[in-house]
Structure 1
Amino acid sequence: MAAQLKPLAGLLLFLNFCMLAIILGIGSWSINKAIVEGFTIGPGFDLPPHFSPIYFPMGNAATGFFVVFALIAGVVGIASIIAGINHFRYWDLDSLPAAASSATIAWSLTLLAMGFACKEIELLHRNSSLRTMEAFTIILSATQLIYIAAIHESPRSTYI
């Protein structure tokens, strides 16, 4: 059974990498836009009322939290892909703990970002780039879970 799931794990690694790259690209663009078009504070200027350091000129009140947590989940997800590639190469019990634990941490952070994506969807008023990022985050949470299940079916022991 384990040998049959190795191609699935490889496909999910590649798919997750592509989705994480898209999430990181859109999230980086959003952060850059928020910095460029954000509040200008300088000598003689006071902070505006209700100032938020997570202000985004596009989107709604949940956008800042969603983008920040999606970026964190993306970076941790890329790190888990590296451990996953190592596990895919060897596909034995020695490489499983690193791949499984990093994938589980990345998945939990992706679920956190997905929660903010759901809140952002509920609040409406967002642009198409944010909608794309929300969709990829929600899909990624499912594919990461399937990947975690697939790698847990790797050989139980190569020493027996």
Structure 2
Amino acid sequence: MVNTQMKPVASLLLVLNFCMFVIVLGIGGWAMNRAIDHGFVIGPSFELPAHFSPIYFPMGNAATGFFVTFALIAGVVGAASCIAGLNHVRVWTADSMPAAASAATIAWTLTLLAAGFACKEIELHIRNARLRTMEAFLIILSVTQLLYIAAIHGGAGRI
């Protein structure tokens, strides 16, 4: 028998995390689209500019390219882990917990990586409001994802 006292907590965190990951994906998609549309333009002789970077972003600072790239990866994996978590919360058995926990742990580690780049971007100062929003969401997600992992592990205890 599994402990069902943590099921409402896990459900609330799951919905919260899913919504936040979707928002991160939306803002990250905007930033990536803007970088593609307004990045370096290669001239007719196909020579790269002197300081060409494949992850150049016209907004933000030197950490923005890394931050947005890893935020998009963390957002996709995080949203997928929420789908696996939805199945676990629906069934709430000891057999469904390992899949949800492992997916959530992978999403959490990628979120921590993106949050680390967010901290570096904050340190470098130059960024717009959308990037600040994405930074805040990823830092909050690094905590709420850890709480979600703790909640689903807390539900695995025997009564």
Fold equivalence (TM over 0.5) = yes
After the TM superposition, which residues 40-59 of structure 1 pair with which residues of structure 2 at under 5 Å, given as runs?
Answer: 40-59=41-60
Secondary structure of 1:119's match? helix
Instruction: Output the CA distance in 1 between the equivalents of 2:96 and 2:148.
Output: 15
Match in the other structure for 1:73: 74
Q: What's the counterpart of residue 139 of structure 1?
A: 140
Question: Which letter does structure 1 place at the counterpart of 2:132?
Answer: R
What letter is aligned with 2:114? Answer: A
Q: Partner of 1:27 in structure 2?
A: 28
Residue number in structure 2 paired with 1:14: 15
Q: Which residue of 1 aligns with 2:62?
A: 61
**What are the superposed Cα offsets for residues 60-99 of structure 1, whole Å, 9 maximum, x if unpaired?**
0000000000000000001101110010011111000000
- Distance in 1 (CA, whole Å) between partners of 2:109 and 2:89 is 21
- Alpha-carbon distance, 1:44 to partner: 1.5
Q: Distance in 2 between matches of 1:153 and 1:31?
A: 38
Identity among equivalent positions (%) equals 72
Alpha-carbon distance between aligned partners in 2 of 1:47 and 1:72, rounded to the nearest angstrom: 27
2:111 is matched with 110
Q: How many residues align?
A: 158
Counterpart residue identity of residue 118, structure 1: C
The aligned amino acid for 2:126 is: H
Give the aligned partner of residue 123 of structure 2: 122
Q: Counterparts of 1:141 and 1:8 in 2: how far apart (Å)?
A: 17
SS in 2 for 1:152: helix
Q: CA deviation at 1:42?
A: 4.3
Q: Do 2:42 and 2:49's aligned partners in 1 also have CA atoms closer than 8 Å? A: no
Q: CA RMSD in A?
A: 1.5
Question: In structure 2, the residue corresponding to 1:104 is in which secondary structure?
Answer: helix
Residue aligned with 2:60, SS: coil
After superposition, the C-alpha distances for 1:7-30 in whole angstroms (9 at most, x for unaligned) are: 010000000011001000000000
- The CA distance in 1 between the partners of 2:48 and 2:102, in whole Å, is 43
The residue number in structure 2 matching 1:3 is 4
Q: CA deviation at 1:147?
A: 0.2
Query: Does structure 2 conserve the Cα–Cα contact (< 8 Å) formed by 1:92 and 1:157?
Result: no
Deviations along 1:78-125, one digit per CA (max 9) or x if unpaired, are 110111001001111100000000000000000000000000000001
Structure 2 counterpart of 1:10, which letter?
Answer: S
